[in-house]
Chain A
């Protein structure tokens, strides 16, 4: 991810673990997610067909299984598009079925003052 302009989009304590905040920066709608002490930023635009990716549940899913079993895993690590349900890994942006397909992400970090800094 190339370095771009930095924007302060809020304070870390505004977003509880497992929650998100939608911001509009530089004309783009971006979802800031807080997962287990880390922050992730995604463009609110699903690579599948432009759906509201960042408005879908942050959830778990069934893990690949070899028989007719339902093993739930990746709890809170899967961002599921609000429109058609495509599932993306919150840490990598990869579509779970095909890692060649990735959701658009942006670098985001919390600075020493506790502010969330987004780079676009």
Chain B
């Protein structure tokens, strides 16, 4: 089983200190931060989770416990073959107005990931987190770490200052194509300079806002297709993590219909938007929609060829964790969704799942 969204948290953001260059270490030590000692510098969301967003039964105290509890409660319990680490607050560097500080913070995080997390467990694979408000810095970071064999994707927050197909971001796509890594987005960055994570203005409650996590996902999917990312870099995959799934058929039907009418605006596109999506965009399952009647969900997933386009993700250790033994995936899709589809996009993973070991748990 490959889990495409596992959060490797820090006990304190001060783990980054040894990795920060001196200029920004001073900012970090003496500068303003949105919380007490140990807080990570970022602009916070205007929505505060009323119970904190970690599962209440996961309470690591030390840095080491962040790993040992994860090992016990996730990796060993469910029989993970691969856990794709997606960081935690580091993604929020995208909210800072100062692109140089933001890039310095994610560079420090990536180095800490390489030093602390990746060597800990053979099941760990890393994401190169970048600060998208600094496309040149992000591209340099992708080239700096893109050759690391355990780094399997580039990752940015779903909150952004503009949609990711925009030419402003093309240096990021170009660098990812050059090092041969897919580009992923993960829910986050909903504050600071990313001023419009929710259409029509700010919602009121945390749960209400969380249910609308699909909104930036929709915008980015339309943008990367319309702006010809997959014509310009035909080997690239775009992976959408924690933005929901069931909205996708409706969006693709609409994109196809409007493109048929106004294709002249984007003469670089050679195929229908839905065809680019099918071949180049993948979606993580968590938090998978879960209607009373599963057949309703499955009809929708079939419309996007979910058997071949969905990637399992648990989002351990968050409050909206999906248990792999419980999520409503059609039984005959499980082998693809839990393993094969991820191996197709994460080309640095072995192309075959390891042979099952007697007694190992299976999803």
Contact = CB atoms under 8 A, between A and B. Distances in A.
A104 interface: no
A68 B265 CA distance: 10
Given A64-B268, A84-B257, A87-B263, 7 more contacts: A48-B260, A62-B263, A62-B267, A69-B268, A84-B260, A86-B261, A96-B263
B228 A68 contact: yes
Contact of A69 (B167, B261, B267, B272): B267
Nearest to B228: A68
A71 interface: yes
Contacts of A66: 231, 268
16 contacts: A48-B260, A61-B264, A62-B267, A63-B267, A64-B267, A64-B268, A65-B268, A66-B268, A67-B232, A67-B268, A69-B267, A84-B261, A85-B262, A86-B260, A87-B264, A97-B263
A64 B267 CA distance: 5
Interface string A84-106: 11110000000011000000000
A64 B270 contact: yes
Nearest first, the 7 A-B pairs at minimum CB distance are: A62-B267, A85-B261, A62-B264, A65-B267, A61-B264, A84-B261, A65-B268
A19 B232 CA distance: 39
A53 to B, nearest CB: 13
Where chain B touches its partner, the secondary structure class is helix
B267 A97 contact: no
B223 to A, nearest CB: 14
A70 interface: yes
A70 B261 contact: no
A97 B260 contact: yes
Contacts of A61: 264
Nearest to A78: B264
Interface string A44-88: 000010000000000001111111111100000000000011110
A94 B267 CA distance: 18
Interface of A: 48, 61-71, 84-87, 96-97
Nearest to B271: A97
A96 B265 CA distance: 14
Contacts of B257: 84
Interface of B: 167, 228, 231-232, 257, 260-265, 267-268, 270, 272
Contact of B167 (A62, A68, A84): A68
Contacts of B228: 68
A97 to B, nearest CB: 6
B267 A71 contact: yes
A106 B231 CA distance: 38
A69 B264 CA distance: 11
A69 B263 CA distance: 13
A70 B260 contact: no
A68 B264 CA distance: 12
Contacts of B270: 64
Nearest to A73: B267
B256 to A, nearest CB: 10
Nearest to B232: A67
Contact of A68 (B260, B263, B268, B272): B268
B175 to A, nearest CB: 18
Contacts of A48: 260
Contacts of B263: 62, 87, 96-97
Contacts of B268: 64-69
Contacts of B167: 68
A8 to B, nearest CB: 36
Contacts of A97: 260, 263, 272
A69 B272 CA distance: 19
Contacts of B272: 97
Contacts of A65: 267-268
Nearest to A59: B264
A87 B228 CA distance: 21
Contacts of A67: 232, 268
B6 to A, nearest CB: 37
Interface centre among A48, A66, A96, A97 (most CB of B within 10 A): A97
Contacts of B265: 62
Nearest to B265: A62
B191 to A, nearest CB: 32
A86 B257 CA distance: 10
A68 B165 CA distance: 12
Nearest to B167: A68
A55 B16 CA distance: 65
A85 to B, nearest CB: 4
